[in-house]
Structure 1
């Protein structure tokens, strides 16, 4: 299960995720996190405490980044663990979402 904390400054939001981003956490992200993120101009998602992501989590992340980008919301993903970044790199996620998302 995924948990999150949020920190707001002006029109920016920082989300710190904790736990696995998998099929069990998609509902939390879709129903709680995405509506929150849509209220800001820039969103930073901290992955430091995310040890695992599965295909449903990757799909959800891709959809969220694309949806927010279409609304003019800048998304960055930070502090990704090496094992999770290896999965992202293997699937070419940084190339798919574009420059500047993974920092």
Structure 2
């Protein structure tokens, strides 16, 4: 289960996510976060408090980045913990998302 907080800065949105990004996060992302994120041109997902991401979380993240990109929203993912970054690199997530998404 995740919780999140948002902070708007100069028309951009930072979303601080806390908790594991897994199957339990799907409903929160799809029903609460995605509609909110679509209203901004630039969104940063701060993963500083995300200690674990499973395959459901990876799929959810990929869907979110793709959906927002199709609507013209630039997404970045920052402050990724080493354990999660290792998973991202193993699955080649930075290459899939393209340069400048995973910071």
TM-score after normalising by structure 2: 0.97
> Shift of residue 9 of structure 1?
2.3
Report the 3-state secondary structure (helix = DSSP H, G, I; strand = E; otherwise coil) of the residue aligned with 1:51: coil
Residue-pair matches, total? 103
Residue 95 of structure 2 aligns with which residue?
Answer: 95
**RMSD, aligned α-carbons:** 0.7
* Distance of 1:45 and 1:76 partners within structure 2: 6
Runs of 4+ in structure 1 over 3 Å off: none
- Within 5 A, what are the aligned runs for 1:7-46? 7-46=7-46
* Distance of 1:29 and 1:54 partners within structure 2: 15
Report the 3-state secondary structure (helix = DSSP H, G, I; strand = E; otherwise coil) of the residue aligned with 2:31: helix
TM-score after normalising by structure 1: 0.97
> Shift of residue 10 of structure 1?
3.5
Report the 3-state secondary structure (helix = DSSP H, G, I; strand = E; otherwise coil) of the residue aligned with 1:85: helix
Residue 75 of structure 1 aligns with which residue?
Answer: 75
> Shift of residue 101 of structure 1?
0.2
Q: Which runs of 5+ in 2 are unaligned?
A: none
Report the 3-state secondary structure (helix = DSSP H, G, I; strand = E; otherwise coil) of the residue aligned with 2:39: coil
> Shift of residue 86 of structure 1?
0.3
